[in-house]
Amino acid sequence: MFAGLKTGISPLPKPLALAFAETIFGTNLPLPVGMMFHLVWVTFFSALYVVLFRDALTFMRAFWLAFALWISVLVVFFPIVGWGFLGLAVTPKLIAASAVSHLLFAIFLWGLCKMSFREREETGFRHGSHGHPAG
């Protein structure tokens, strides 16, 4: 997303996480602050996905998480930072741009989970009620 902003491909006026941080603190902030906000946000929801769905890390579950986050961006975060409902105060292109980034989030989240937890799936290892392998 940051590369898209620098090249002019992205329709966002600035990274959403940076705009949100600036709104919270009421001042201009450097880009790394926005990147940290984004890192915390993505890490939290990625961990939540793994914790909630650890026994079935499917693409559709990653997709529905990304979809819910996308809707929250459109109806909560865009208005908070002054970009209007669905980002329409800036441009309707924000709807598609944010949809693409959230779809990519779902694909990467699912793919990385499949790679990271492959051994557990291949061996049929499942945790019992106390963290021990189920028999």
Say how many CA atoms lie within 13 Å of 46 toward its Cβ: 17
pTM of the model: 0.76
pLDDT class of 130 with cuts at 50, 70, 90: low
Identity of the highest mean pLDDT range in 22-26, 113-117, 131-135: 22-26
pLDDT computed for residue 68 by the predictor: 95
Q: Dump pLDDT digits (tens) for 2-21.
A: 454 455 678 999 999 999 99
* Cα gap 115→111, rounded to integer Å: 6
* Cα gap 90→86, rounded to integer Å: 9
* Cα gap 15→5, rounded to integer Å: 8
Q: Dump pLDDT digits (tens) for 49-63.
A: 999 888 888 999 999
pLDDT computed for residue 55 by the predictor: 85
pLDDT computed for residue 116 by the predictor: 87
Q: What are the boundaries of each domain within the chain?
A: 2-122
Q: Dump pLDDT digits (tens) for 62-108.
A: 999 999 999 999 999 999 999 999 999 999 999 999 999 999 999 99
